[in-house]
Structure 1
Amino acid sequence: MATRRVSDEPAYILHSYDWSESSLILEAFTRHHGRVALVAKGAKKPTSNFRPVLLPLQPLRVAYGVTGGGQGDIHPLRGAEWTGGHVMPTGDALLAGLYLNELLMRLLAREDPHADLFDVYAGVVRVLGGGQHGDALEPVLRAFELLLLRAIGVLPALDVETATLAPLSPRNHYTLVAEGGLRLAAGDDRSSLTGAQWQALQQALDEGPGAAAYPAVLRVGAEAGADLKRQLRVLLQYHCGAPLLRTRQLMMDLQSL
């Protein structure tokens, strides 16, 4: 069976599993091929060239072989090179990066390319590794969440009521329901956004795919603040399914200490 080679592919490691005493199975997010599974033979050996390279939240160029159709298979990793640019995030930034990795693991189908989303992710990781995020960490996460939901096709239009397609009233409050999209908020719903805020988010998303829309989505999302966080949290967990995201549970546990 013919084997083709993917070379010089931009990638990030999302997660790794032990495969044997000396090898690892990697979940990688690649720019042109989406989420792929790779086997790194001998990667756990002290002498392996892979050992210091295959880390999460680090920009890589990888090469791997694909046999046959390649869909859903585990591909043999042939090479991996760190491309540099930033150090490993620490503290809250590290936890945020692992949270993004878990979202990608849960929500992206294998071998489904999302080049625009990859570019957004790479930009976010640079911010996390740069140590200059400060109070911008939460808006950065909200912007990525919105663009991820749009990329996988589960984010409804944010400028109309989903059930009726009626335009939003700028002064009314609306809530984002996992199974029903945007609807008029109940009087006791404290996490809703105004129609004007939802419309602003849609306008930001309409500025282009992926990285083109990111600055506008970041700005508008920052203005929406904690209310947007609560809205997206429910939607993301619904599409991720059970159990609760492990990184989110860890954040909750740390906050309770």
Structure 2
Amino acid sequence: MATRRIADEPAFVLHRYDWSESSLILELLTRHHGRIAVVAKGAKKPSSNFRPVLLPLQPLHVAFGGDAEIRTLKSAEWLGGQVMPTGDALLSGYYLNELLLRMLARDDPHPPLFDVYASAVRVLASDERLTLEPALRAFELLLLREIGLLPSLDVQTATLAAVDPSQRYTLRAEGGLVEAEEGDDRGSLAGGQWIALQQALDDPAPFHATLRQVAEMGELKPQLRSLLHYHCGVATLRTRQLMMDLQAL
């Protein structure tokens, strides 16, 4: 049986770790094949063509082959066009990578999510600090929707009753979108805001449409954090804890 080979596949490196003295195992996000694991043989050697290319948050075209769970990386080409994020933007990129590693099954392609990730990485690389937090919120929303964990935001989840633009609602991990309780304003949004978010998610260019909507929605962050932690099965993501530790120095 012939070994399957894939060429010219858009990809990003999500994570890398040692496999031997000279090789690496890489977790890649690919556009048409989802999250996959590959071995980059000899990638740690000073003379390897892989060495300067296999970096996180950089757009690549890769070729790989094999039918096992861990394929063999045949080639990798850096597409250029953006610089490596630095500082808070770099940590934010690692945060996005951790979300994908925790929430995506291997070999489960999501081409729209790949495009959203590519757009988010471009924002991080632009070093526009005012768009950093909105980019993270937009990505979180679109990730949750793409893998079926985000309820419709224009109806109440339990009753399917239409959201009242003048009332406030909270997004909860187990209950979905519910009416906010008394004194819950910090963790809730007005119904009109939820409706606008749903319209942005349904836009033909959802990342940029959602990015514009979430810019003034600070109350969204704790709600999405709780939802993500619930589905990841952790109290705090490792990259988020690292951010908090650095801010405390």
Q: Could you tell me whether the CA contact under 8 Å between 1:161 and 1:167 is conserved in 2?
A: yes
Find the partner of 2:172 among 169, 174, 177. 177
Structure 1 counterpart of 2:57 = 57
AA of the residue aligned to 2:176: G
1:87 aligns with 2:80: no
CA distance in 1: counterparts of 2:102 and 2:168, whole angstroms: 30
Structure 2 counterpart of 1:29 = 29
Query: What's the CA shift for 1:21?
Result: 1.1
1:152 aligns with 2:132: no
Query: What's the CA shift for 1:130?
Result: 2.4
Query: What's the CA shift for 1:228?
Result: 0.6
Find the partner of 1:76 among 64, 72, 89. 72
Find the partner of 2:102 among 103, 106, 115. 106
Deviations 1:103-122 (A, max 9, x none): 11111111111111111111
1:114-125 matches, cutoff 5 A: 114-125=110-121
CA distance in 1: counterparts of 2:203 and 2:53, whole angstroms: 36
Q: Could you tell me whether the CA contact under 8 Å between 1:5 and 1:66 is conserved in 2?
A: yes
- Structure 1 segments of 4 or more deviating over 3 A? none
Structure 1 counterpart of 2:212 = 219
Q: Could you tell me whether the CA contact under 8 Å between 1:96 and 1:141 is conserved in 2?
A: yes
CA distance in 2: counterparts of 1:91 and 1:163, whole angstroms: 42
Q: Which runs of 5+ in 1 are unaligned?
A: none
Deviations 1:25-45 (A, max 9, x none): 100000111100000111111
- The alignment's TM-score, normalised by the length of structure 1, stands at 0.93
1:241 aligns with 2:233: yes
Structure 2 counterpart of 1:195 = 191
CA distance in 1: counterparts of 2:140 and 2:234, whole angstroms: 18
Q: Could you tell me whether the CA contact under 8 Å between 2:24 and 2:40 is conserved in 1?
A: yes
1:243/1:27 CA distance change after superposition, 3 Å: farther
Query: What's the CA shift for 1:134?
Result: 2.4
CA distance in 2: counterparts of 1:207 and 1:83, whole angstroms: 28
Deviations 1:228-250 (A, max 9, x none): 11111111111111262111001
CA distance in 1: counterparts of 2:18 and 2:183, whole angstroms: 48
Number of residues of Structure 1 aligned to a counterpart in Structure 2: 248
Moved more, 235-244 or 8-17: 235-244
AA of the residue aligned to 2:206: A
Structure 2 counterpart of 1:47 = 47
Local SS of the residue matching 1:3:
coil
Structure 1 counterpart of 2:11 = 11
Q: Could you tell me whether the CA contact under 8 Å between 2:65 and 2:73 is conserved in 1?
A: yes
CA distance in 2: counterparts of 1:129 and 1:218, whole angstroms: 16
1:139 aligns with 2:134: yes
AA of the residue aligned to 2:216: E
AA of the residue aligned to 2:177: L
CA distance in 2: counterparts of 1:22 and 1:77, whole angstroms: 14
1:232 aligns with 2:227: no
Deviations 1:120-170 (A, max 9, x none): 111221221122x22111111111111111110100000111111111111
Q: Could you tell me whether the CA contact under 8 Å between 1:6 and 1:66 is conserved in 2?
A: no
Q: Could you tell me whether the CA contact under 8 Å between 2:168 and 2:190 is conserved in 1?
A: yes
